Amino acid sequence: MRNTFLRGNTLMPWRMYAGMSEGDLRAIYRYLRTLRPVHNVVPRG
């Protein structure tokens, strides 16, 4: 994964979001605010 990160690729599509309009970003934000939280316990190890 380190080599992938160094090439500019990440797990999140940052470049795609960078090209979105302010209105599109606001719409995504509003949609995400309607979702109920997920309670997830991550086991250690």
Q: Has residue 20 been placed in a domain?
A: yes
Name the average pLDDT for the chain.
83
Q: Has residue 29 been placed in a domain?
A: yes
d(CA 16, CA 23): 15
Q: Has residue 42 been placed in a domain?
A: no
What pLDDT score does 10 carry?
73
**Per-residue confidence band for 25, with pLDDT thresholds at 50, 70 and 90:** very high
**Which residue's entry shows tokens 């209105």?**
23
Q: How many domains does the chain have?
A: 1
In this predicted structure, the answer to whether residue 26 has a pLDDT above a threshold of 90 is yes
- How much is the average pLDDT of 13-25? 87
Q: Has residue 27 been placed in a domain?
A: yes
Residue of higher predicted confidence among 1 and 42: 42
What pLDDT score does 28 carry?
93
d(CA 3, CA 1): 5
d(CA 23, CA 10): 24
Domain range for 29 = 2-34
